[in-house]
Amino acid sequence: MRVELDNLSKAWDGVVGADRITLEVADGEMVAFLGPSGCGKTTTLLMVAGIYRPTGGTISFDGRVVNEVAPKDRGIGMVFQSYALYPHMTVFGNISYPLRLKRLEKGEIRKRVEQVADMMGIGDLLDRRIAQLSGGQQQRVSLGRALVKEPQLLLFDEPLSNLDARLRLAMRGEIKRLQNDLGITSIYVTHDQVEAMTMADKIAVMSKGVLQAYDIPEALYDRPKTLFVAGFVGNPPMNFFDVEVMLLGGEFHAKNESLDLIVPDDRAAKAAAKEGRVVMGVRPEDVDVADDSSPRVEGLTLSAKVEVVEPLGREDLLGVVVGGVNVRLLVDKTKRAKPGDLVDLVFNMDNVQFFDPETEESLLWA
């Protein structure tokens, strides 16, 4: 099912929950609504579900406006962070509830519940009470209940946030596989950008009720349109510097009091066109620590003192200070950096980003 949101808004007594959200979810696509708490992602989802009544704009399913359609008539299934299972019913009771409401015939209900339960790997738990299940099992029951009525649209509201880290990883893959196999259009609300990047075909980044960007994950990562998107997508987050970009001796330089780096022409030209200071963004993986063998290229190297070392196993996350700004970088653990070390930083400027400090919009991709 194709879902279109057109200038969708929700406000309560002057507090804006969602502000003119416009986007389209293609049939069979999985879209993530990504943003920090209170960004309006759940508000938007609940409007799509029909729980909240929009105060402006329209929601359309396959071209039909559904603003006034009751949740039960929207053909949706929903999965919650809290699982939202009915504690007084068994697993069978929970999964069969949507079918019982439709007054399907008993044998048919049992057949469909068993089918879904087997698909979710909880076929042997049908007689259990909800309180007897683990978190992972409860989330499977919740998924089963959403799937059993064969919905046209699946809505996920942070479904993995209550699970422990390992289980979250396993369920992430499982949900993605299920969604792929069944081809059900899905909207997935999360504050976890890794979840959004790995599962979604497209990501809608939201902040303070406003849709900041809507694109495929790679585009959001490589070509962030706003400062917020650049800072929110990617973990650890992008490093930002206030610099002035200028042409010096045939080369573009990004300069401030404490750094002077050479920037590739194509990116720098647009940044240089802007008067005064701009915000430069460099991802943690684009900064490295030089060792004895690596060449110190003039204009791409900078010395700094290591403040913090966080070993991540495969690599180390270093915190250094450059001109009073905390900079985070991912380096190979063989570099053996220690707090207090004076190191040479090598910048890869091929992926550098530039933003307008006032409008916070990208100078490269806007």
Asked whether position 76 contacts another protein by CB under 8 A, the answer is: yes
Q: Which stretch binds another protein (CB under 8 A): 82-90, 263-271, 277-285, 328-336?
A: 82-90
Ordered DSSP codes for 130-142: GGGS-HHHHHHHH
Minimal distance, residue 128 CB to another protein, in Å: 9
Asked whether position 177 contacts another protein by CB under 8 A, the answer is: no
DSSP state letter for 309: E
Minimal distance, residue 102 CB to another protein, in Å: 6
State the burial class of residue 248 (Cβ atoms within 10 Å of its Cβ: 0-12, 13-18, 19+).
Answer: exposed
Name residues contacting another protein, limited to 35-74 (CB under 8 A).
46, 49-51, 70-72
Q: Which is nearer to another protein, 88 or 333 (CB)?
A: 88
Minimal distance, residue 43 CB to another protein, in Å: 13
Query: What's the CA gap between 287 and 331, in Å, rounded?
Result: 8
Q: Are 262 and 251 in contact (CB under 8 A)?
A: yes
Among 36, 87, 183, 357, binds another protein (CB under 8 A): 87
Long-range contacts of 40-43 (CB under 8 A, 24+ apart): 40/10, 40/206, 40/208, 40/209, 40/210, 41/189, 41/190, 41/191, 41/204, 41/206, 42/157, 42/158, 42/189, 43/10, 43/17, 43/18, 43/209
Asked whether position 154 contacts another protein by CB under 8 A, the answer is: no
Among 62, 64, 67, 88, binds another protein (CB under 8 A): 88
For residue 151, is the peptide bond before it cis, meaning its omega torsion is within 30 degrees of 0? no
Among 10, 149, 168, 267, binds another protein (CB under 8 A): 149
Secondary structure class of 346 (helix, strand, coil) = strand
Q: Which is nearer to another protein, 39 or 46 (CB)?
A: 46
Minimal distance, residue 148 CB to another protein, in Å: 9
With tokens 């309006």, the residue in question is: 40
Minimal distance, residue 13 CB to another protein, in Å: 12
Write the CA distances from 157 to 80, 117, 311, integer angstroms: 5, 21, 32
Minimal distance, residue 126 CB to another protein, in Å: 15
Q: Which is nearer to another protein, 78 or 268 (CB)?
A: 78
Asked whether position 338 contacts another protein by CB under 8 A, the answer is: no
Among 35, 57, 98, 209, binds another protein (CB under 8 A): 98
Among 53, 64, 102, 305, binds another protein (CB under 8 A): 102
Query: What's the CA gap between 255 and 241, in Å, rounded?
Result: 10
| Interior/surface letters 140-167, b for 16+ CB within 10 angstroms, e for the rest | bbbbbbbbbbebbbbbbbbbbebbeeee
Among 35, 40, 136, 224, binds another protein (CB under 8 A): 136
Per-state percent for the chain, helix, strand, coil, to nearest 5: 30, 35, 35
Number of residues that bind another protein (CB under 8 A): 34
Query: What's the CA gap between 322 and 366, in Å, rounded?
Result: 28
Asked whether position 175 contacts another protein by CB under 8 A, the answer is: no
Q: Which is nearer to another protein, 86 or 111 (CB)?
A: 86
Minimal distance, residue 28 CB to another protein, in Å: 21
Q: Which is nearer to another protein, 67 or 82 (CB)?
A: 82
Q: Are 120 and 140 in contact (CB under 8 A)?
A: yes
Query: What's the CA gap between 319 and 338, in Å, rounded?
Result: 10
Q: Which stretch binds another protein (CB under 8 A): 11-19, 131-139, 179-187, 251-259?
A: 131-139
Binding region for another protein (CB under 8 A)? 46, 49-51, 70-72, 76-78, 80-82, 84-88, 97-98, 101-102, 129, 131-134, 136-137, 145, 149, 155, 167, 170
